[in-house]
Structure 1
Amino acid sequence: MNYVYLEHEPRRCDVKVDTGIAANDRNDIAEGLSRVLADTYTLYLKTHQYHWNVTGPQFRSLHLMFEEQYRELWAATDEIAERIRALGEFAPGTYAEFTKLSSIQEDNTVPSSDQMVKNLVKGHEQVVKTARDLFKVADEAGDEVTADLMVQRMQASEKTAWMLRSTVE
Structure 2
Amino acid sequence: MALHKLFVDDFYDTSFVLLAIHCRLEDYRLAYFLNKYLDLNLKRKPQDLDYNYFAASYAIYEWDNITMDTTWNLVSNVCKKEEAALQSSGSLFDNQNLIMKTYNLLPEFKNVDYLIKVTNENQNFNEKSILNKIQSIPQVITSYNIDVDQIKSKDHLIFN
The normalised TM-score by structure 2 is 0.26
**Structure with greater strand percent:** 2
- Quick check: which has more Rg, 1 or 2? 2
**Structure with greater helix percent:** 1
The normalised TM-score by structure 1 is 0.25
